[in-house]
Amino acid sequence: MGRVAAVTAMTALGLSALFLIASDRTEAAGDTTPPALTLPANASTNATSSRGADVSFIAVATDDVAPTSFACLPSSGARFPLGPTTVSCSAGDAASHVTTATFVITVVSAADQLAQLRTIVAALTIDPSVKQGLLDKLDAAGGTIGSGSAKTTCNQLNSFGNQVRAQTGKAIVDNSDLLRRQAEIQAALDCVASSALPVLLAPRADVTALTAPGLATAMFRFTTPPNPGACSPSSPATLGIGTTTVGCAATNANGTRTITFRAIVRDGEPPNLSVPADITVAAPAGSSTAIVTFTVTATDNSGAATAVTCDHASGSAFAWGMTTVTCTAVDAAGNSATRSFHVSVNFAISGRITDGATNAAIPGVRVVVQDAATENDVAAGTSGADGTYSIVVNPGRYVAVFNRDQGVPYVEEYWNERFISSPHDVITVAGSVGGINAPLVAGYYVHGQVTDAVTGLPVEGVFAAGGYVGGTGAFAGSQTGIDGTYRFVAARGAMIKVTFTKSHYMQRWWNEKRNLGEADAITINAETFNINARLTPAVRLSGRVTDEVTHAGIGSVAVVITDSTTRCCPFGNITVGVTNADGVYAFPVPKNTPLKIQFFPFGSADPRYISEWFDDQPTWDTAAIRSFSVDTAGIDAMLTRGFYISGHVFDAATGAGLAGINIAGSDALQPCCFGVAFATTDANGDYRMLARPGTYRIRFGDPNGTYAPQFWNNRPNSDQADLVTTGPDRPNINAALSRGVTIRGHVADATGTVPVAGINVNVFDATVPCCVFLGGGMTDAAGNYTAFPSHGGPVKVSFAKFGPIPPGTRWLGQWYSGKDSFDAADTVNATGVVSGIDARLATGFLISGHVSERGTGTALAGIFVEVVRAAIPCCPFSQAAFTQTDAFGNYAAVVTAGDYKIQFQDGTGRHADGWWHDQTAATPDVLHVTGDALGIDQTMQAAVTIRGHVSGPVGEPVAHLNVTAQLTTQFCCQQVGGTQTDEFGNYSMSVPGGTRVKIGFGAFGGPPPGTRYVGEWWNDKGSFDAADEIVVGADRSGV
């Protein structure tokens, strides 16, 4: 159905007239232009009667599509009243656009015509008397018009006409205009019938219209006179391109009046140009261009043929990339149309994927192209049924990886049969490249699942990789999914080791192994399942290693993370990181795991830098234990540049160099013997050992026991050792070793039938008071041991008296033979090989506990725990058991029933010595043992070190003198620290930080045996009250 629009126009009489606009559609799509109107110019005409005049007019409507309606009010041919009348014309189109315009027709009345006639007569150049006569007659008529009878006015006008005729040929040359006007005035007064021809108004200008969309014609709608066939062509007229003269005629009783106007149709519509859609092609293999053909056509509303031109001809060679092709069509009217399309030429990498053994096509293989520089994915494709593929890429350098998703059971590889882990061949694309083929190696799937070792939950995103055993360096792998499972393809018959890596987890190898060397190998002879892993959560550890003097970063330092429970050798290495050129490192370590950290220079690092343990410790035993629950920075180290101690070790009898001799340097300022520097002689018996600046005891030991150990310079023990001070290097620290002594024996339970394994056996010098260590060993699984004392002669042997006992046991320590103390022990004359030094161990009660730092709760490892008999006072105490805390601060000792006191000592000096229940030596608590005593814990106060030297009246060193530290906040005396001077008169002891103490020298226990030294207090004072007080805030030397 169409739509009807109502348009209201005002007539000249003030009445509303209504006409309808019909449309066959709701709105013409795309029609935005309203119709155009061409109307007559404003016009005047004389009345032909007292009622006005009939007026016809030609008004024209055009549109860019077609005017659907057109009307004027009053209409053409209507009778117009006297005076002005506005004609309103409105045209509508199918898009509901309406255009309205007006013009004015004025009908001149008889009175106005009479006035016009008088003006004309007044302007005549004739005899004045004649003119006046004529004017008098017109004035007479004017005086009666509109106020009297029209007949009177007409008679007076007849008198005017008679005079005009009478003067014709005399005063008046031509009377036609005057007589015509007289007749028209009389007609307007209804005195006579009008003799005027009909009034017909033409458009004020030629009418121009553009062709309708898609047509060679335009429609003109126009008004016409009321008589039939008044215009040719008739309205609405559909006219072709060009100029058409439209003629119209109006007829009345007096005759016919005609007019013409030109209707001009112009072609304003461009041709309809059709171009193809964008074209994308791949250049043929080996070419950088592609020949592209296409078709472009054009039609025109005029129906005439239209020429088409394009800036790139069909069949041209197009270069790589996107080219814009622009085509233009021009019609006969000069209208043009331009359209563009794109031709894109791609480069492609193509090839065929086959079974490497059978050459059969492999469909469904995923091929990924990566940027050769960044290894970022660029494009991908899949092989078809015939094994071929083609992947579009830009010019550049690429690598291609086949079966990366491992969707088929073939080994993933890069082009040119390169393994994933090997260097990749580069494909340079400057045009399409073909022949990138892949003969793949058949394999089997390897399956498994990865879980969190703490929570047991599956871990997503773990890279499981199988490294091929046998030196190829190749591997296969994939990542775990949300359920922790993975699957990858390994070559048939291959032997692999599988590793599992993910950030914030420790790397692990199958089967629960920490490194490649320990990992179990798997031979892939079929599809393999249950290659599972449990990953330990990790945190990021970072820090910086610098020179302790210059603070410059040190590169190529290995940061070794070891298990704090596994002593050398080897250490329980967990992982390792390396510092960069600026000394910075960062890598994962196990979360919430007690660790020890070593900083070990290697490779390009200055070889004089000395390795150390965190925190500034020389050995694993003294290293701080750390556990990390979050990412931790600031685990730093400052390394010292050391000096070389070097020399030659040889057989004392033959002079031959001895290979494989162990050399250990221990700090002479610490109790013997914590090794801090180590070396082994080479095949010629030469060695070189790096040590910090300091003073050392140098021990030479044969691990095979053939040669007796000694200290430099042929000294039998640490107390008598000559010291070596470094800075500068110390060459010629030589040793001549003599063949040594061996002590062997067997340790069993009290019945003698069950061997006891893991028991420490120690040999001490029997010629001096307890306890000068000469050597030792440990029982094997059969209970047998071998010990190598540093020299022969009288010795005493202890079993399980020193050091930890095997876990889960309660063996009571003893001295040979079955004695309870050093003094009671049987002496063994150690010459050559001494066998049969056996022991039968009874069991006792367990004393165990935990030692931690006061205030922080940090577990303290390596703390000496001495159990002494409560009934025997100092000094010396009567020792019942001696042991050390383990890496977790735990200890255990075995005693018989009785009363005991327990002393805790830190051999490193970092913590103040103390007695059980945080008591001092003056007031120790007594532990009554009638069964196992568990939970005998101790907290130790962080300490500082007081060092000094004790000499006699003539400057001689005073050895083995008791040195004690007593609190000054108490009445004398409450001891908080104590030690003895060494062979050189030097001492070092720890006291609690933040305390005030006075130092006594020989004030307790008397002088060393065989001497007559009188004890005193510091500073050269005779009593506790007179002694100088020391505020212990930091390490103090020179006391």
Same domain? 292 vs 394: yes
- Which domain covers residue 343, as residue numbers? 268-407
- Is there a domain that residue 656 lies in? yes
Q: Which residues of the chain have pLDDT under 50?
A: 1-28
Residues sharing a CB contact under 8 Å with residue 143, sequence separation 6 or more, in sequence order: none
What is the rounded CA–CA span in Å between residue 826 and residue 834?
A: 14
E-state strands within 267-314: 272-274, 279-282, 289-292, 297-299, 307-310
Same domain? 312 vs 255: no
- State the pLDDT at residue 914: 85
- Is there a domain that residue 681 lies in? yes
Percent of the chain exceeding pLDDT 90 equals 55
- Residue listed under structure tokens 């017109």: 138
3-state secondary structure of 126: coil
- Is there a domain that residue 412 lies in? no
Question: In whole angstroms, how large is the CA radius of gyration of the chain?
Answer: 62
Amino acid at residue number 309? T
* Residue 734, burial from CB neighbour count under 10 angstroms (0-12, 13-18, 19+): middle
Same domain? 364 vs 475: no
Percent of the chain exceeding pLDDT 70 equals 95
pLDDT digit string, tens, across residues 9-33: 333 323 233 333 333 333 445 688 9
Domain boundary among 501, 535, 569: 535
- State the pLDDT at residue 472: 55
pLDDT digit string, tens, across residues 278-333: 999 988 888 888 999 999 999 988 888 788 999 999 999 998 889 999 999 998 88
pLDDT digit string, tens, across residues 609-657: 999 999 888 888 778 899 999 999 999 999 999 999 999 999 999 999 9
Domain boundary among 787, 806, 841: 841
- Is there a domain that residue 899 lies in? no
Same domain? 315 vs 398: yes
Same domain? 570 vs 613: yes
- State the pLDDT at residue 906: 85
What is the rounded CA–CA span in Å between residue 981 and residue 697?
A: 16
- State the pLDDT at residue 268: 87
Closest CA to 119 of 142, 97, 100: 142
- State the pLDDT at residue 838: 94
Same domain? 371 vs 353: yes
Beta bridge partners of 730: 645
CATH number at residue 823: 2.60.40.10
- Is there a domain that residue 117 lies in? no
- Is there a domain that residue 313 lies in? yes
What order do you get walking across the sheet with 98-108 strand by strand?
43-46, 98-108, 83-93, 67-73
**Three-state SS annotation for 255-276:** EEEEEEEEEEEECCCCCEEECC
Please give the model's pTM, rounded to 2 decimal places: 0.50
Is residue 975 within 8 Å of residue 962, measured between CB atoms? no
Same domain? 506 vs 566: no
- Is there a domain that residue 429 lies in? no
- State the pLDDT at residue 517: 83
Cα dist from 519 to 474, 490, 510, whole Å: 16, 17, 6
- Is there a domain that residue 674 lies in? yes
CB atoms within 10 A of CB 910: 21
What is the average pLDDT score of the chain?
Answer: 88
Is residue 157 within 8 Å of residue 188, measured between CB atoms? no
Cα dist from 912 to 210, 396, 397, 638, 677, whole Å: 112, 70, 68, 26, 26
- Residue listed under structure tokens 């472009």: 296
- Total domains, the chain: 7
Closest CA to 670 of 904, 916, 907, 488: 907
Alpha-helical segments (H) within 40-122: 110-122
- State the pLDDT at residue 18: 32
- State the pLDDT at residue 236: 95
Closest CA to 409 of 492, 472, 522, 484: 492
- State the pLDDT at residue 567: 72
Same domain? 716 vs 778: no
What is the rounded CA–CA span in Å between residue 294 and residue 312?
A: 10
Structure tokens, 175: 């009377």
Structure tokens, 392: 């579009």
Domain boundary among 674, 702, 737: 737
Same domain? 519 vs 543: no
CATH number at residue 695: 2.60.40.1120
Same domain? 747 vs 834: yes
- State the pLDDT at residue 729: 93
- State the pLDDT at residue 808: 83
- State the pLDDT at residue 274: 93
Structure tokens, 663: 């050399």
Same domain? 449 vs 318: no
- State the pLDDT at residue 673: 66
Same domain? 469 vs 509: yes
